[in-house]
Amino acid sequence: MENISKEHNQKPAIPRDAASIIVVRGKSQNPDVLVGRRPSTARFMPNVWVFPGGALETDDFELRTPFSLRSDVSSRLTRTSKPEVARALAWAALREMYEETGLFIGRKSSLNTSPRGEAQSAYNDLGLAPDLSALDYLMRACTPEYQPIRFNTRFFIADGSAASGEIRQTPELEEICWVPLDNLIKMKVASITELVIKQTQLYLKEKPAPNSERKMMFFSADMDHNRIWREE
């Protein structure tokens, strides 16, 4: 049920569009997921374990790949964003995955495009094009209205068998590793990550078929700290 917040003199900060990715591999029961710990010096959520992800960047709109989003995924994303934003968010999830962990989700392609940024250059160097079709859309969450730094994040999920490359340590995440999903919730994670873990567990149990009509979960909270948890 959605709670209606009271009027406040202070307006909530405008959230930035962002994307995150849950990469799942191994056994069907309690599979491993790719995570890292944010540095103690991080301005946002220091010392907590997170999935790869980050804010949408201008260059994310310039990606060209023959491996587009599945039509049902695009349909569900565009309930709350424009088509060009949906595509950019999917690439942002893969870009952040590479920048934060060193891993790729791509397929061989003869593309000879001018790369925009480190991640696109890395894909091009390996003769890969980002594979947006490997992504499913799991849920959406927006940082609560009472927080000064806010992100409107779309969470994607992908099969780890599609990932390639070697994990490398980066300035953005520390102790990057594969962790059993059921174990992750016992580690130091943010409250939103707990919800994402539960949605991931439900997704893996139900194994939903591609469906443009599938309901998506949205989470946030208003200025009175009332939770907003609804279907979209």
The reported pLDDT for the residue numbered 28 is 78
The reported pLDDT for the residue numbered 3 is 44
The reported pLDDT for the residue numbered 8 is 52
SS (H, E, C) the chain: CECCCCCCCCCCCCCEEEEEEEEEECCCCCCEEEEEECCCCCCCCCCCEECCEEECCHHHHHCCCCCCCCHHHHHHHCCCCCHHHHHHHHHHHHHHHHHHHCCEEEEECCCCCCCCHHHHHHHHHCCEEECHHHCEEEEEEECCCCCCCCEEEEEEEEEHHHEECCCCCCCCCEEEEEEEHHHHCCCCECHHHHHHHHHHHHHHHHCCCCCCCCCCEEEEECCCCCEEEEEC
Q: Render each residue's pLDDT in the chain as its tens digit; 232 residues.
A: 344 444 456 789 999 999 999 999 988 789 999 999 998 887 777 899 999 999 999 999 999 899 999 999 999 999 999 999 999 999 999 999 999 999 999 999 976 667 788 999 999 999 999 999 999 999 999 999 999 989 999 999 999 999 999 999 888 898 999 999 999 999 999 999 999 999 999 999 999 999 999 999 999 999 999 999 999 9
Q: What angle do CA 96, 33, 161 make, to 5 degrees?
A: 80
Q: Tell me how far CA of residue 57 lies from CA of 50, 91, 221, in angstroms.
A: 20, 10, 25
On whether the CB atoms of residues 212 and 75 are closer than 8 A, the answer is yes
CATH topology of domain 16-231: Nucleoside Triphosphate Pyrophosphohydrolase (3.90.79)
The reported pLDDT for the residue numbered 211 is 97
What does the domain layout of the chain look like in residue ranges?
Answer: 16-231
Q: How far apart are CA 38 and CA 54, in angstroms?
A: 12
The reported pLDDT for the residue numbered 90 is 98
The reported pLDDT for the residue numbered 6 is 44
On whether the CB atoms of residues 76 and 40 are closer than 8 A, the answer is no
DSSP character at residue 192:
H
